Amino acid sequence: MSTSSVPRPEPAAPSRPSGPFGLPRFARRGTPEGAVPALALFAAVRLAGIVAVILTNTLRGRPPLRTLAHSWDSRWYLHIAAEGYGHKIWLTPHGAVQTDWAFFPLYPALIRALDTVLPLTPGQAALLVAWIAAAVAAYGVYVIGHLLYGRGVATALVGLWAVMPHAVELTIAYTESLFAALAIWSLYCVLKGRWLWAGALAALAGLARPSGFAMAGAVVLAAGYEAWHRRGRVPWRLWAGAVLAPLGFLGYVLWVGTRVGDLFGGYFTVQSAWDSRFDFGAGSARFVKALLLHGGGVVYTVALLVVAAGVLLFALLCLDGAPLVLVAFAGILVLLVVAGSGSFSSKPRFLLPAFPLLVPLARALARTWRVRPGQAVLVYGALTLVSLMFGAYVTAVARSPL
Q: What is the pLDDT of residue 19?
A: 39
Q: Distance between CA 111 and CA 97 in Å, rounded? A: 26
Mean pLDDT of 391-395: 91
- Higher-confidence position of 274 and 191: 191
Q: Identify residue 32 by its one-letter amino acid code.
A: P
Q: Distance between CA 218 and CA 362 in Å, rounded? A: 22
Q: Identify residue 118 by its one-letter amino acid code.
A: L
Mean pLDDT of 359-379: 94
Q: 92 falls in which pLDDT band (50, 70, 90)?
A: low
Q: What phi and psi values does residue 364 have, to the nearest 5 degrees?
A: -65, -40
Over 70: is that where the pLDDT of 13 sits?
A: no
Q: Distance between CA 258 and CA 16 in Å, rounded? A: 46
Q: Distance between CA 400 and CA 382 in Å, rounded? A: 25
Q: What is the pLDDT of residue 94?
A: 62
- Higher-confidence position of 90 and 384: 384
Q: 232 falls in which pLDDT band (50, 70, 90)?
A: confident
Mean pLDDT of 373-395: 94
Over 90: is that where the pLDDT of 179 sits?
A: yes
Residue 353: name the closest of 49, 103, 106, 144 by CA.
144
Q: Distance between CA 262 and CA 245 in Å, rounded? A: 24
Over 90: is that where the pLDDT of 21 sits?
A: no
Q: Distance between CA 317 and CA 307 in Å, rounded? A: 15
Mean pLDDT of 63-74: 85
Over 60: is that where the pLDDT of 1 sits?
A: no
Q: What is the pLDDT of residue 284?
A: 82
The percentage of residues in the chain with a pLDDT greater than 90, rounded to a whole number, is: 63
Q: Distance between CA 56 and CA 394 in Å, rounded? A: 11
Q: 35 falls in which pLDDT band (50, 70, 90)?
A: very high
Mean pLDDT of 245-259: 95
DSSP assignment letter at 274: T
Q: Where does 29-163 show beta strands of DSSP type E? A: 89-91, 97-99
Residue 165: name the closest of 396, 313, 387, 402 by CA.
387
Over 70: is that where the pLDDT of 106 sits?
A: yes
Look up the pTM and report it: 0.89
Q: What is the pLDDT of residue 399?
A: 81
Q: Given CA atoms 146, 148, 149, 155 in this order, what sign does their dihedral have?
A: negative
Mean pLDDT of 158-181: 95
Q: Distance between CA 193 and CA 399 in Å, rounded? A: 45
Q: What is the pLDDT of residue 61?
A: 85
Over 60: is that where the pLDDT of 9 sits?
A: no
Instruction: Report the range of poorest mean pLDDT among 40-49, 81-90, 203-212, 388-397.
Output: 81-90
Instruction: Report the range of poorest mean pLDDT among 82-91, 105-114, 360-369.
Output: 82-91
- Count Cβ atoms below 10 Å from residue 392 Cβ, excluding itself: 23
Q: What is the pLDDT of residue 286?
A: 86
Over 80: is that where the pLDDT of 155 sits?
A: yes
To the nearest whole number, what is the mean pLDDT of the chain? 88
Mean pLDDT of 57-70: 86
Instruction: Report the range of poorest mean pLDDT among 188-192, 213-217, 280-284, 326-330.
Output: 280-284
Q: Model confidence over 280-291: pLDDT tens digits?
A: 878 888 888 888
Q: Distance between CA 89 and CA 101 in Å, rounded? A: 9
